[in-house]
Amino acid sequence: MGRKFMVGGNWKCNGTVEEVKKIVTTLSEAEVPSEDVVEVVISPPFVFLPLVKTLLRRDFSIAAQNCWVRKGGAYTGEVSAEMLVNLGIPWVILGHSERRLLLNEANDFVADKVAYALSQGLKVIACVGETLEQRESGATMAVVAAQTKAIDEQITHWSNIVLAYEPVWAIGTGKVATPAQAQEVHFELRKWLHVNAGAAVAASTRIIYGGSVNGANCKELAAQPDVDGFLVGGASLKPEFIDIIKSAT
C-alpha cells in the first residue's frame, strides 16, 4: 500500500506577522512536487493560524501545534480541538517532546489528546522519541513503544494519525539521526504496529522522521524504506524547507 510522503513544518514559538508573510510568500513561489506526491503541512503558532490559512497556497495544509485534551470551557490559555475545526484547521501536532519534557505531558495525557482530537475530526501528527540518556541505556524501543501503546489503547483506528519519530537528542541540536538509526526505529515502530494494530495499519500508517533535518541531509533520510517524510523544525523557517519538500521525489 502506497504511503504518501509528508513534510511538516513546525514553526514552534517563532515569527512575527511580517516574517510569516515572508515565509508564506517564499512557499507560494516555490516549485514543488504535486500534492499527489507529497503532502505539505505547515504548523504556525496558534495566533498566526488564520493569517496563514488565508495566505497559504491551496495545495499545502495547516496544523496547529497543540490542542486541549477535552471540550473547551474553563481552561485559561488553552485552545480546543473544536476551535481548530471551526477555523478549518485539519491537522494538529500532539505529544511534541518539547511539551512532553517542558510541560510534563505524560504518555496517557498525550494519548487522551490524540483520541479527543480524532473524535472531533482532526488529523493528528503524534510525536514519539527517546532522550539521549534513554538511547544510551538501550531503552529507545521500549520508550517509543510505550508512547505508541498509550495512543493505541485510546483510539479506535489509526487512519488519521501520522507517527513522527523525533529523537529528543536530535531536535534543534544539529545532531541528526543517521539514515540507519532512523530506519532502524521506523522499522521497529512499523513492526510494533503490525503486531499490535494489525498488518493493514502497519502498511498504511506514515512514520515520519524529525530532528535536525535540513536541505543537506534530507535526501539520504528520505531514501530509507520506512521513512515516509519529515517533521521539520528550524529548517522549516528557511528557504531550504523547499529542498526538503523536494526530497519526496
We find the least distance from the C-beta atom of residue 219 to ligand PEP, in angstroms, to be: 16
Q: Check residue 218 for interaction with ligand PEP (CB under 6 A).
A: no
Which one of 44-52, 136-144, 188-196, 226-234 is the stretch in contact with ligand PEP (CB under 6 A)?
A: 226-234
Question: 128-167 mask for ligand PEP (x: CB under 6 A)?
Answer: --------------------------------------x-
Query: What is the amino acid identity at position 219?
Result: K
Nearer to ligand PEP, 107 or 236 (CB): 236
* Residue 35, number of CB atoms within 10 A of its CB: 14
Give the distance from CA 93 to its chain's centroid: 6
The Cα–Cα gap between 10 and 53 comes to 15
Query: Are 151 and 195 contacting, i.e. CB atoms less than 8 angstroms apart?
Result: no
Query: Which of 112, 89, 95, 206 lies closest to 159, judged by CA?
Result: 206
We find the least distance from the C-beta atom of residue 233 to ligand PEP, in angstroms, to be: 2
Burial class (CB in 10 A: 0-12, 13-18, 19+), 149: middle
Phi, psi of 222 (to 5 degrees): -65, -25
> In this chain, which of 212, 218, 229, 241 binds ligand PEP, going by CB under 6 A?
212
Active-site residue, 186 included:
no
**Residue 54: CA atoms inside 13 Å, Cβ hemisphere, count?**
7
Cell of 246: 523536494
Residue of minimal Cβ distance to ligand PEP: 233
**159: CB partners within 8 A, 6+ apart:** 204
Catalytic residue from among 39, 98, 105, 166: 166
Q: Check residue 239 for interaction with ligand PEP (CB under 6 A).
A: no
Q: Check residue 95 for interaction with ligand PEP (CB under 6 A).
A: no
- Residues between 34 and 93 that touch ligand PEP (CB under 6 A): none
Q: Check residue 232 for interaction with ligand PEP (CB under 6 A).
A: yes
Phi, psi of 153 (to 5 degrees): -70, -20
> In this chain, which of 15, 95, 129, 210 binds ligand PEP, going by CB under 6 A?
210
> In this chain, which of 32, 226, 233, 248 binds ligand PEP, going by CB under 6 A?
233
Query: Are 105 and 75 contacting, i.e. CB atoms less than 8 angstroms apart?
Result: no
Active-site residue, 166 included:
yes
Q: Kindly determine how many residues on this chain lie close enough to bind ligand PEP according to the rule CB under 6 A.
A: 14
> Which amino acids are annotated catalytic?
96, 166
Q: Which residues are near ligand PEP by CB under 6 A?
A: 10, 12, 166, 171-172, 210-213, 231-235
